[in-house]
Every structure is written in structure tokens, then in C-alpha cells.
Amino acid sequence: MTAEPATAPVRLSAGAVIPLPTLDPAAPLDDLAWLDRAIGDARVVAIGESAHYQHESFLLRHRLCRYLVERHGFGAYAMESGFAEGWRVDDWVRGGAGRPDHVMADGLTSLMGLWRPQRAHLEWLRQHNRTADRPVGYYGIDLPGSMVSLLPGLDAVLAHFAVAEPEFAPDPAVRATAAAFATPSAFSAPEAMAAYRALPQQSKDALTAGLADLSARLGARRLEHLRRTTAGAHARALRTLRGTVALDAMLRELARGHHDDALHHREATLADTVEWILGREDRIVLAAHNGHVQRCPDNLPVVPPTTLGMHLGDRLGDAYLAIGTSSATGRTLNTNASFYSGTLFTDLEDAPRPGSLDALLAASHDGPFATDLRRLPPTDTATVRSATAHRYGTFYADHDPLDAFDLLVHLPHATPAAPDPAALAQAPGEVRDAFARWRAH
């Protein structure tokens, strides 16, 4: 009996594959010249990642950021990290005082600052700014307190009032209520949510009303505040307060069991913050998860019906460029409950699911490569459109890649980034303990 011939794997044509010879941020940049046409006049170039804290994603973002800054004059690097906390990072990369380990631990949220490649990226920004005619700013775009605490945002706003309107006495119950469910890190998210749910409804309502009162006062008293502070400081405080209000609204919806509504608050606020940055900076490099930067919704429980990328696409049109990423093998962020006990990463499958976008890209080239989805030959367009499953971590999202992204970068093997010992030493005890348990395994 004659054996059936093996079916050749589906792959992109050679003309659709743009090899990336290196991910080394310090290497010469000429191999990225193909980006010039892809970028065009885009004001926001978003670089996605299929999962957080991956070594290869950090390198890619650093290398692409360097290219966009040096070759195209991009003036801001914005990250999926707390807006309120990020001003400490911005001051440091612009040459301010302070130890980088403190800046990384305190200025970057959701564990984003605890990795060696992130330190290298921030150090490059600081070094670049020492001689640059136009320094590159750093911005966080996310809600405060790793989305488990209002206090970083609220305290920044109260500090602004203390300078701009020292005779004003904010209601102390607002901060006291926020402190009742504040926790030190993302590892305490379950405890923070439980503590919030346990608050009497009257206390939750009073917190929301108190934040609304602060927001109204801050907006209405702008001209009075400018007698004692600056327009920039006032605008920063108002943006910080709006992010804090959004986090309160998100927690209220989560307590009601309205998960999609909660995520809507976050995504809209991320987009509002990016738009706010565009009022200060001409062009932005934006780093966030694929699920945020994509231009369409999908079926993942952690991706809302309307994403950051959908908002930016609607507001900016062709001035928004979304770059998605994928991986084939290796280890990725663990999104199960065991993450909170220190199992930070988990193994990927031996190979991506047949028919998935990740399998298609893995079959197309052995090393890292990019493909410009807007300039594919017709046969490649049809091939990509047929691969509607895209892996984010260990989950597969269903969407048309051509609707979701403008470019794709395939990083064949994913590995956890190395922790930065100095930054980790400055992190809360529960973070150090979780990392110790992970490293012990």
C-alpha cells in the first residue's frame, strides 16, 4: 500500500518575509530600513507583545524604539505602566537624580520594571538624552497602582492640591477608604478585590463621589492654581486624577460582575492618555500587549470589546500603526491563579496549533522576521486571512490578523527575561518572595 505524501506546511512566500538578522538593541540599524516605508507619517507606532516579561519582546521594543528615535525623530516612549508613577522614570531618563533600581521598582508598575532588559532600555534613553537636541520623554499610560490601588494616583493629586491650593482641605475619608483596599503589588490583586467588595456600599459610593468632587474642583480652579504652580503640573494632575477615577469605575464594575464594562474603562483611559501625550509630543513609540494595540476585538476574556488600538485607529486613522508579535516555542507568562504563588511562567506547546497564525509564521522562516500585512501579494493575503487563531500566552484569540495589525513580527522562541536583582531588592516583600519561589523552581 502506497503511503500518502506528507502535506507541505502552509507558509508565506519568500517575498513576504523580512528577516531580522539580530534583536540586539546595540547592533547597527541598517537592516531595519524597510520600516521607513511602513512607518510613513504615523504619529503612534505601537509594538505589541504576545505576553509580558519575555526577553525577546524587550529586545525588539528597545531596538525598534532606537530606530524610530534615531532615524525618524520620535520623541516619546510610552509603556503599559502607571501614568502617575511614570513621571519618576521620565525625570530620570532626562538626566534627573536618583538610583535606577529605585526608579525601576517605583516608577514602573505591574512588575514591568524588574527585568534586566528593561534597565538597559531606560539606560539607553538616559544616555541618548545626554547629547540629544530633543530629549526623548518617557510616559506611562496605564491606571495607577498596578490596577490594585488608587493611592499612587490619589496621593499625587493631593500633593498637587497642597501646592496649588494649600488652604483647601480635602475630605480625609476619601483617602482612608482608598487605603482600606490598597495593596502593594499585582500579586495582591485577589486580596485587593476582596477587600473592595467587602466595603459597605455607602463607602464605595462616597469614594466615587469624593473623587468626582476632586475632579470637578481641579478642573474649575485651574486659573487659580496657576498662580502657585505651572500649566504642565496642573495638566498632569488632572490626567492623573482621570486615571484614578477610571480605576475606581473599573473596580465598581468588577464588583458587580461586569467584566467587559470594567475593561472598557481601562482601554478608553489608555487611549485618552496616549492622545494627551500627543498634545505634548509629535510622535510616540508605544509598547503594550497585543490585546491592547490590536485594531479589533476578539474572544479572549482579558481583551475587551473595544481596545486601545480600536480607539487610536478611530481617532488617528493612518497615523496609527499597530505591530503585533507571535512566538512558536519556549516559555510564556502564566495567567493561571498559580501566578500569584510564584509560578510566573509556563511552557508553551511543542508547536503552535495547526492552522493558527503562529504556526503559519513558524513555518515561513526559521529566525525572527517581520511581514508587512498591508503590502502582501494576493496569495499571501489569503493565507494570512485563513489563520484566524493567534496565540496570546497559552490562549488562542480568534480574529482576522489583517484587521488586527498592520505589521507582524515573529519571534520563534520565547524565554523569560532575567530579573534585575537591584530593582527587585527595592520591590515589596511579597514581590521578592514570589520571585524567590519562581527562581527556586
* Full-model pTM: 0.96
Kindly state which CATH superfamily the domain 14-145+270-440 is placed in: EreA-like (biosynthetic domain) (3.40.1660.10)
Look at residue 8 in the predicted model and tell me its pLDDT: 56
Look at residue 301 in the predicted model and tell me its pLDDT: 67
Query: SS3 string of the chain?
Result: CCCCCCCCCCCCCHHHCEECCCCCCCCCCHHHCCHHHHHCCCCEEEECCCCCCEHHHHHHHHHHHHHHHHHHCCCEEEEEEEHHHHHHHHHHHCCCCCCHHHHHHHHCCCCCCCEHHHHHHHHHHHHHHHHCCCCCEEEEEECCHHHCCCHHHHHHHHHHHHHHCCCCCCCHHHHHHHHHCCCCCHHHHHHHHHHHHHCCHHHHHHHHHHHHHHHHHHHHCHHHHCCCCCHHHHHHHHHHHHHHHHHHHHHHHHHCCCHHHHHHHHHHHHHHHHHHHHCCCCCEEEECCHHHHCCCCCCCCCCCCCCHHHHHHHHHHHHEEEEEEEEEEEEEECCCHHHHHCCCEEECCCCCCCCCHHHHHHHHCCCCEEEEHHHCCHHHHHHHHHCCEEEECCEEEECCHHHHCCEEEEEEEECECCECHHHHHCCCHHHHHHHHHHHHC
Residue ranges per structural domain of the chain: 14-145+270-440, 151-258
Look at residue 286 in the predicted model and tell me its pLDDT: 98
Q: Along the 441 residues of the chain, how does pLDDT read in single tens digits?
A: 444 444 456 999 999 999 999 999 999 999 999 999 999 999 999 999 999 999 999 999 999 999 999 999 999 999 999 999 999 999 999 999 999 999 999 999 999 999 999 999 999 999 999 999 999 999 999 999 999 999 999 999 999 999 999 999 999 999 999 999 999 999 999 999 999 999 999 999 999 999 999 999 999 999 999 999 999 999 999 999 999 999 999 999 999 999 889 999 999 999 999 999 999 999 999 999 999 999 998 777 665 679 999 999 999 999 999 999 999 999 999 988 889 888 999 999 989 999 999 999 999 999 999 999 999 999 999 999 999 999 998 999 999 999 999 999 999 999 999 999 999 999 999 999 999 999 887
